[in-house]
């Protein structure tokens, strides 16, 4: 079942989403060579708590931190550690916050100092693919339309669209129905309705689309060690289109 949120639930989800967006903005100036991912995690934890929310990811299936920090060939679910960011890295930061029982979820990939032209291209196209996916959303559209739009856009650049991980509904649970794949067939899949809230989150590799699980049983890495980017927004489906709840 795909939940339809009431106006009051939507108010709470707007606040949860705003806190996630503000946490991203809070972290951004710290994303520089020399900072450790654990330091970023602590900054995020404090900011989320101070905002009256709790970090959605902490203890989710035993996840040990507040945010996910995935560097270079790490696709998603990198665990914050004492690793220091280096100039030329890209880092995907995934943040979830729960406000009065409702979640917001958003990931963004940041450059660390000056990065290669290839990595810049990867970030630009992955961010754009998120908007390509979002732009087809409105009441009456289908979930397959989203993945189709993302894959169609990415195909032009010969990048790898990860299939093993997908977007999802968001609400009182961080992950709700429906699954929102980043590939698909137009006119297929569940019908979107006004009041649904979903997270769209393309994960795109500079190389092949293959990924595998790292030794820590959390970190997903690319099969060919190529860099990977991840952009995610939680959005409300409206009659005419959509509203981004996790605006930065
Ligand atoms: N934003 C991530 C997702 O939607 C959630 C991180 S998984 C966790 O897949 F286990 F770290 F919480
Ligand atoms: Co998500």
- C-alpha 165 – ligand 2 centre gap (Å): 9
Q: In the prediction, which pLDDT does 185 show?
A: 98
- C-alpha 234 – ligand 2 centre gap (Å): 8
pLDDT tens-digit readout, 3-19: 999 999 999 999 999 99
Q: In the prediction, which pLDDT does 52 show?
A: 98
User: Which ligand is nearest to the Cα of residue 69, counting in written order?
Assistant: 1
Q: Are the C-beta atoms of 136 and 188 separated by less than 8 Å? A: no
What is the architecture of the domain spanning 7-244? Alpha-Beta Complex (3.90)
Q: Measured from the CA of 168, which atom of ligand 1 is nearest?
A: 4
Q: In the prediction, which pLDDT does 33 show?
A: 98
All residue ranges of the chain with pLDDT < 50 are none
Q: In the prediction, which pLDDT does 40 show?
A: 99
pLDDT tens-digit readout, 173-183: 999 999 999 99
Q: Are the C-beta atoms of 232 and 130 separated by less than 8 Å? A: yes
Q: Nearest-CA neighbor of 60 among 98, 22, 12, 15?
A: 98
Alpha-carbon distance of 127 to 231, in angstroms, equals: 6
Q: Are the C-beta atoms of 209 and 130 separated by less than 8 Å? A: no
Q: Is the CB of 233 under 6 A from ligand 1?
A: no
Q: What is the separation of C-alpha 67 from the centre of its chain, rounded to a whole number of angstroms?
A: 11
Q: Is the CB of 164 under 6 A from ligand 1?
A: no
Secondary structure (3-state) at 130:
helix
Q: In the prediction, which pLDDT does 116 show?
A: 98
The residues, ordered by sequence, that sit 6+ positions from 92 with a Cβ below 8 Å of its Cβ are 68, 69, 70, 71, 74, 75, 76, 78, 107, 108, 109, 110, 228, 229, 230
Please tell me whether the overall predicted TM-score, pTM, comes out greater than 0.85 for this model: yes
Alpha-carbon distance of 150 to 155, in angstroms, equals: 9
Q: Are the C-beta atoms of 87 and 114 separated by less than 8 Å? A: yes
Alpha-carbon distance of 195 to 218, in angstroms, equals: 32
Q: In the prediction, which pLDDT does 173 show?
A: 98
Alpha-carbon distance of 83 to 142, in angstroms, equals: 41
Q: In the prediction, which pLDDT does 28 show?
A: 98
Ligand 1 pocket test: pick from 41, 45, 63, 107 the residue with the most ligand atoms within 8 Å of its Cβ: 63
Q: Is the CB of 60 under 6 A from ligand 1?
A: yes
């Amino acid at each position: 079942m795909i939940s339809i949120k009431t106006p009051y639930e939507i108010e709470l989800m707007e606040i949860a989403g705003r806190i996630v967006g503000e946490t991203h903005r809070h972290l951004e100036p710290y994303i520089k060579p020399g900072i450790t991912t654990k330091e970023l995690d602590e900054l995020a934890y404090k900011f989320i708590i101070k905002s009256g929310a709790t970090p959605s990811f902490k203890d989710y299936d035993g996840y040990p931190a507040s945010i996910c920090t995935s560097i270079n060939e790490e696709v998603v679910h990198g665990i914050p550690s004492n690793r220091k960011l280096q100039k030329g890295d890209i880092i995907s930061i995934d943040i979830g916050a729960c406000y009065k029982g409702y979640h917001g979820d958003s990931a963004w990939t940041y450059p660390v100092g000056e990065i290669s032209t290839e990595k810049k291209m990867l970030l630009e196209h992955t961010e754009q693919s998120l908007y390509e996916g979002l732009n087809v959303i409105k009441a009456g559209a289908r979930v397959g339309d989203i993945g189709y739009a993302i894959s169609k856009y990415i195909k032009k650049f010969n990048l790898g669209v990860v299939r093993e991980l997908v977007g999802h509904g968001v609400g009182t649970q961080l992950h709700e129905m429906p699954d929102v794949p980043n590939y698909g067939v137009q006119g297929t899949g569940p019908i979107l309705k006004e009041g649904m809230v979903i997270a769209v989150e393309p994960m795109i590799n500079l190389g092949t689309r293959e990924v595998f699980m790292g030794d820590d049983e959390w970190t997903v890495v690319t099969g060919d060690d190529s860099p990977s980017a991840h952009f995610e927004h939680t959005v409300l489906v409206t009659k005419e289109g959509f509203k981004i709840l996790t605006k930065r």
